[in-house]
Structure 1
Amino acid sequence: MNHLTLKPLTLGLLAAALMGLGALGMWMAQPSAAQTTPAEVLNTAPSAAKPALTVALTQARSGLLPIKLAANGNVAAWQEASIGTEVGGLRVAELHANVGDSVQKGQLLASFATDSVKADVALARAAVAEAQANALEAAANAERARAVQGSGALSAQQINQYLTQEQTAKARVASTQAQLDAQLLRLKQTQVLAPDNGILSSRSATVGAVLGAGSELFKLIRQGRLEWRGEVTSAELGRIRVGTAVLVTAPGGAQTKGRVRMLAPTVDAASRNGLVYVDLLETGKAATAQAFKPGMFARGEFELGQSAALSVPQTAVVVRDGFSTVYRVGADHRVSQLKVQTGRVQGDAIEIQSGVKPEDQLVASGGSFLSEGDLVRVVESSKPNSAPAQAAPAQEASK
């Protein structure tokens, strides 16, 4: 039994001895490290390392970028007219316009019942006719009194009385004529007309209602003009001038051009912000009028000019741990991470304010897949906005 127990151990010792002799022979056959040249080490090192990514290169370019100031605000009517009744106690007979209608100056919007007003006009006409008849009689009496004034047929008191009656009758005619004109004006005011071109934004009148004088019937956006009231800080207010171009964006994404019409003369004491009144220039277009409505929130960008700047494609910038970074490719095809300060964005380009030099070779896209010191394979061109291609396996690359 002892012989059977020691036999496997003996075989294991013999196998280990044979493997040791084989390894010694291979070591002796290879050249020593002292005999390996540095060139051979450089040539063999890249073949042993596997690239982490295939990338295209880009460089920071110098050019002009627009200077823009962003602000938020509300869309409002340029001027909103209140259209109301000028006579009281009349019944609304008919409404000829509704909310959203585009109306012209002088267009009929509403009509009031005219029966009572026409009756008052008839009474005023009769009063004028009566006063005119009395005035004719008084004028004839005064003329006869003047004719006999020096003959003594009438006393001085009687003559003065006839002359006074003549003047009183003329005044009575003027008074009744004024009353007739007032009634005719009331009759005219039973028709409510649009005071200007524009769009009706509200209607509070209903058919059959008896309204008092001054009651509001409609609200009108004069000339259909809208404005955007941007809110900026007191420091930013000094950078804006009347006539500055503005691009206003609605919540739905629609955009329209504008121009600064006026700066607020005061700043809010609580928020320290001031208003900038911007005329929206394209509200006459159907698409723009549909996208922008009074009371709507909108965002605007004031175009303050241009300045020189360095920029790179947005795909070259990676945000990590709250910092913007780019990856610079060295001569050995290894990347180093650089923190940069970004600024303005224009199309697919983003401004680099610090951290990069114009001669730096940067990874154009795919930096989110890289780490400090990674080896990359460089290609001549690649679509900046597409996902970068992963490096091929080592056996495929050698084909």
Structure 2
Amino acid sequence: MRSYILVIAFAGAIACGTKKQETSQTTENTTIEKDISLTAEQLKNGGIETGLPEEAMMSASIKVNGVVDVPPQSMVSVSFPLGGYLKNSHLLPGMGVKKGEVIATLEDQSYVQLQQDYLVAKARMDYLSADLERQKELSSQDATSKKIYQQAGADFKTQQVLIKSLEEKLRIVGIDPDKLTVNNISRAINLRSPINGFVTKVNVNIGKYVNPADVLFELVDPDDIHAALTVFEKDIMMIKKGMKAAVSLADKPGKKYEVDVILVTRNVDENRGGLVHCHFENANHELLPGMFLNGSFELDSKKVMAVPESAVVRFEGKQYVFLAKDKSNFEMKEVETGIVQNGKIELKEDAAVNWKEQKIAVKNAYSLLGKLKNKADE
């Protein structure tokens, strides 16, 4: 029995040793050397060129997206305070309208009744005014009781209130009470545009009965159109009022519009983004509420050490450059990068390297990485 246990233990030790050896081999296979030497011919055939990092003025950019928007005060829902039938309207979505322009005509017998009530009340007012003067004179001569005089005064004031309220009702529906006479009573009333703008929605058709709560049309004043841009929370504090950005419509990326920041919200939504409201400097009729926008903010420029993007290689999630030790020997060094702009990339400061004096492979650096990988596989 004891011999059997020893055999098993020995076999286990061999298995563990084999496993460690395989693990060691696997680790070695994923690790490559950092140094490589090339002949002059290899350098020429690989198209490898060296150079010094250069100082450059670069600015970081913040990518954003959003929509064309208008503030609530520039969006108008048009309704009518009295129910009625839509007699006619020429509006279509997208059409422009001017303030005061007739955009629809409605008709109903209640309009006639309102005009009638006003004219009748006004006519009775003349009678009550004359009666009040008569009762006042009689009262002064003690020819009538004070009660009758007081009643005449109360009737006159009541009629004044009635006429004033009817006048306001007429003005609400667009009828000028000063111009209303028995000769121009009409069953139809014109509905006029309250703003200069354009139509976004038409919710009615000819012959439809509309209630006071129904929205007939929706209009937008384009003069106050703006860009509502979403900025991630990590960037929102870098955006300030007055900053400029360039935006474009999602389906027309080549046409840029400049915008100025007018308001930065100080809260973020559930998607960890905050809204930045911007004013268009050169808005035109192409920009409609709800259209999607893409854009970017350019932050203040700063002086950095930069190299061509082709000088930086990526390997196993990290970034490297190849330091030129001399004309034929290179060392792969991990680096931290920053701003990427116009084909160049920023190299962050490194205590071990003076970028102003250290030449690196600036062209075809990936061919050096490929040779290191091939060397590791041999």
Supply the distance in 2 between the matched residues of 1:306 and 1:265 (Cα, whole angstroms). Answer: 25
Task: Tell me: CA distance 1:331–1:83, structure 2 relative to 1, closer, same or farther (3 Å).
Answer: same
Q: Which has the larger radius of gyration?
A: 1
Of 171, 174, 177 in structure 1, the residue corresponding to residue 160 of structure 2 is 174
Show structure 1 runs of 5+ residues with no match.
Answer: 1-44, 375-399
| 1:125-274 equivalent positions in 2, closer than 5 A | 125-146=119-140, 148-149=141-142, 154=143, 158-188=144-174, 190-224=189-223, 225-233=225-233, 235-252=234-251, 253=253, 254-268=255-269, 270-271=270-271, 273=272
Structure 1 SS opposite 2:267:
coil
Task: Tell me: CA distance 1:263–1:274, structure 2 relative to 1, closer, same or farther (3 Å).
Answer: farther
Q: Is the 8 A contact 1:132 1:173 kept in 2?
A: no
Supply the distance in 2 between the matched residues of 1:338 and 1:124 (Cα, whole angstroms). Answer: 92
Q: Which amino acid aligns with 2:71?
A: W
Supply the distance in 2 between the matched residues of 1:58 and 1:105 (Cα, whole angstroms). Answer: 66
1:172 deviates by: 4.5
Q: Is the 8 A contact 1:88 1:212 kept in 2?
A: yes
Q: Percent identity?
A: 18
Show structure 2 runs of 5+ residues with no match.
Answer: 1-37, 176-188, 373-378
Q: Which amino acid aligns with 2:367?
A: F
Structure 2 SS opposite 1:201:
strand
Structure 1 SS opposite 2:131:
helix
Structure 1 SS opposite 2:164:
helix
1:311 deviates by: 1.1
Supply the distance in 1 between the matched residues of 2:40 and 2:149 (Cα, whole angstroms). Answer: 132
Q: In the TM superposition, what whole-angstrom CA distance separates every residue of 1:203-244 from its partner, at most 9, and x where no partner exists?
A: 2222222111132122233334022232321x5433332222
Report what 2:334 is aligned to: 339
Task: Tell me: CA distance 1:274–1:178, structure 2 relative to 1, closer, same or farther (3 Å).
Answer: same
1:53 deviates by: 2.0
Q: Which amino acid aligns with 1:214?
A: A
| 1:305-324 equivalent positions in 2, closer than 5 A | 305-324=300-319
Structure 2 residue 69 is the aligned partner of structure 1 residue 76: yes
Q: Is the 8 A contact 2:199 2:219 kept in 1?
A: yes
Report what 1:118 is aligned to: 112
Q: Is the 8 A contact 1:52 1:370 kept in 2?
A: no
Q: Is the 8 A contact 1:264 1:274 kept in 2?
A: no
1:354 deviates by: 4.9
Q: Is the 8 A contact 2:81 2:173 kept in 1?
A: no
Deviates more, 1:105-114 or 1:365-374: 365-374
Supply the distance in 2 between the matched residues of 1:49 and 1:307 (Cα, whole angstroms). Answer: 38
TM-score under structure 1 length normalisation? 0.67
1:64 deviates by: 2.0
Report what 1:379 is aligned to: none
1:202 deviates by: 2.1
Q: Is the 8 A contact 1:61 1:358 kept in 2?
A: yes
Structure 1 SS opposite 2:174:
helix
Q: Which amino acid aligns with 1:188?
A: G
Structure 2 residue 276 is the aligned partner of structure 1 residue 277: yes
Q: Is the 8 A contact 2:79 2:217 kept in 1?
A: no
Paired positions, count: 315
TM-score under structure 2 length normalisation? 0.70
Supply the distance in 2 between the matched residues of 1:124 and 1:298 (Cα, whole angstroms). Answer: 53
